[in-house]
Amino acid sequence: MRLVVRAAEVLDADRLIPITGAHVDSCLYHGEATLDFAGRLVAGGAQVSVPTTLNVGALDLLHPELWHGDLRTAERGRLLMERYRALGCRPTYTCAPYQLPEARPRLGEQVAWAESNAIVFCNAVLGARTNRYGDFTDIACAITGRVPDAGLHRTEARRARLVLRMAADLPAALFDDDAFYPVLGIVLGRRAGSVVATLDGLPANQSEDRLKAIGAAAASSGSVAMFHAVGSTPEAPTLAAALQDHDPDAIGEISFAELRHARDELTVAAEGASLRGVALGTPHASLTELTRILDLLASDRVAPGVELMVSTARDILDSAQAVGIADRLRGAGVSLLVDTCSYIAPVLRDGDGAVMTDSGKWAYYAPGNIGAAVVFGSTAECVASAVAGRVVRLPSAWDAA
Amino acid sequence: MTGVELRGRLLAPGAAAGRALVLDEPLSLWGGVDPATGRIVETRHPQHGVRITGTVLVLPRARGSSSSASVLAESVRAGTAPAAIVLGESDLILALGAAVAEELYGTRVPVLVLDPGRLALLRDGAAVRVEEDGSLLVD
C-alpha cells in the first residue's frame, strides 16, 4: 500500500479507485533485486485481491530445452516466475494477455496493467483504462486492488492532443502491407512521445493484430500509453470523438518518406548479410497470426541452418494444439516458444548472420538486448527468407517511387 | 552557468551530487542500460556505450518499457546506478523503481522533475547537486 500511495503522490491523485484486474510484468528476472522484492512480498503473506495475469518471464517453462544461456540465470528466472504465482497471479506468462478471452477487460473498466505493449492495447484497443504501470507498482496495485485516480483512468486525459494524418502521398497498397503497421507505430512513438495522439486517414476497422503491432512499436520508440485510430479504436468512432470535441494542440502529417526512412532504420544488419534466424511473435502471436504463418509456409519447410522461432502464449499454444496448427508448424521446422520472448531469453542459436523479424519492437530492442543484427521485413518476407535460407525481399508497396 | 539554483519536483526523495550526464535523446533503462556495467547498450542511442554510474543522469523523458523500474532497482543493488535522475517529464516507473530500491537496500536515488526550459540549461559534465528540498544546484 505504501507503493500505491507513493504512486498517488507522484501522479497528484487525491484518491484511490478500485480496479477489476491487473497484468503484472514484475515476474521477468532482471537480477537479484527483482527476487529480493518478490521474496519480501511472499514472506509477508501477500496475495493479489483481483484477477491478475502474468507477463513473460525469463524462460520457457514448458520447453526448457530451448534455453542456451547459463543455468543459474535460468534457475533465478524460474524462481521469480514461481514467486509471482505464489502471490496468486495466474501463470499466463504472456505479453499479450488481451488475447486470452477471460483476461480482456471491457470498455471503460479500470485496471492496472504493466508491459508497455499491453498498456497501449488495453487503453487504445479495448478502451479499458490503465496508466503506464511499471514493475513493483503493478503487483502493489494487484495486491491492494486500488490505483491512483489520475491520468488515463480519467476520461479527460484520454482525449487526443495530437492529430497525425496519413499524407496524400502514401500508396493505397501500403495499407494492405502488414509491415506498414509496426513502422507506423515507430513513427507514432517518435512523434507523440507520451502525448495521446490520434491516427487519421487509416482504413477503418483495422484488425486487432495490426493495432497490436502499431501499439507495441509506438511504446518502444516513445512512451506511448494510448493512441486512437479513427474508425478502428473504440473511443474514436470519429475524429471529433477522439478529440472529445476539443481542438487538438497540434496537427501533423506522416509522409511516405518518413515511413520509408523509419522502415529502413529498423534494419541494422549489413546488406547481403547471411541469415541465421527469423523471430516472429512479438508481441506474442495470436491464433490468427499462427495460422497465417502456416499458410505462408504452404508446403515448404524452414531451410537447414536457419531457425524460425515464433513466440506465443502457452494458452494460445493450447488452442493451436487443439486445432492441429502447432504440430503442422513444428512439422515444417518451426520452433514455438512460450512464456518468454526470443529477444529476452537466450533461445536463438548462436551463430553468424542476421536475424529477421516482422516486429517493430523486436527490431528495436534485439540489437541491444541479445546483440542480434536485425533485418526488418513483412511476415511474408520473413517466412520466405526462412524457407530460402537467405534474406528475401518481395515486391511491395514500399517500392513505389 | 555557475552558482545557479533550479527548482524542481522530487518524485523520489534524496540528495546527491555528481557530474551531469545530459542525454541527447530519451532512454528506456530496460533494454537501454545494462545494470551489470551501468553502460548504455541501446545501439540506436547517440550515447551508446557511455556509463551512467554515479552521474546525475539528465534526460528529457524516460521511454519504453515498464521493466525500467526493475533495472533501476537492480542497478542500485549492483552499485551501477546513477547518483540521481533529472527528468523533463514526470515518470511513475522510475519514481517507483527508486522507491523500491530505497526500501530494499536503503540507498536513495533522487528522481527530480524540472520543467523542460530549465532542464535545457543543464550542460553535460557540469558539477551538480540535487538537494532534499527539490532544488538543483549547478556549481
**What band does B21 get if pLDDT is binned at 50, 70 and 90?**
very high
Domain membership of residue B64 (yes or no) is yes
Task: Say if CB A19 and CB A112 are below 8 A apart.
Answer: yes
Domains A2-155 and A267-399 share a fold: yes
- Examine the pLDDT at A177 and tell me if it is beyond 90: yes
Mean pLDDT, range B45-72, rounded to an integer: 91
> DSSP secondary structure string, B52-103?
-TTSEEEES-B-S-TTHHHHHHHHHHHT-S-SEEEESS--HHHHHHHHHHHH
Q: Does B117 reside within a domain? A: yes
Return the active site residues of B.
65
pLDDT tens, position by position, A244-258 = 999 999 999 999 999
Q: Structural domain boundaries of chain A?
A: 2-155, 159-255, 267-399
pTM recorded for the entire structure: 0.94
Question: Which residue on chain B is closest to A36 by alpha carbon?
Answer: B104
Q: Confirm whether B135 is domain-assigned.
A: no
Residue recorded with cell 528522481: B111
Query: Could you tell me the CATH number of the domain that includes residue B42?
Result: 3.50.30.10
Q: Tell whether A377 lies on the interface with B, counting CB pairs under 8 A.
A: no
User: Could you tell me the three cell numbers for A56?
Assistant: 513473460
User: A169: how many CB neighbours lie within 10 A of its CB?
Assistant: 11
Which of A32, A223, A368 faces B31 most closely, judged by CB atoms?
A: A368
Question: Which pLDDT band holds residue A352 (cuts at 50, 70, 90)?
Answer: confident
Domain A2-155 annotated CATH 3.30.499.10: yes
Ramachandran category for residue A58: left, alpha or beta (phi over 0 → left; psi -120 to 50 → alpha): alpha
Q: What's the pLDDT score for residue B64?
A: 60
Say how far apart CA A13 and CA A150 lie, in whole Å. 5
Verify whether the Cβ–Cβ distance B70 to A131 is below 8 Å. no
Distance between B32 CA and the closest CA of chain A, angstroms: 7
Q: What pLDDT was estimated at residue B57?
A: 98
Question: How confident is the model over A269-306, as pLDDT tens digits?
Answer: 999 999 999 999 999 999 999 999 999 999 999 999 99
- Fold classified for A267-399: Aconitase; domain 3 (3.30.499)
Instruction: Nearest chain B residue to A343 by CA: give it.
Output: B31
| Residue B31 resides in a domain | yes
Q: What is the interface pTM, i.e. ipTM, of the complex?
A: 0.91
Q: How far is A172 from chain B (nearest CA, A)?
A: 30
Subunit contact B66:A115, Cβ cutoff 8 A:
yes
Percent of chain A residues past pLDDT 70, beyond the cut: 100
Give B64-106 pLDDT, tens digit per residue: 677 899 999 999 999 999 999 999 999 999 999 999 999 999 9
Which structural domain range is residue B87 located in? 4-127
- The count of domains in chain B is 1
Q: Does B64 touch chain A (CB under 8 A)?
A: yes
Quick one: pLDDT at residue A401? 62
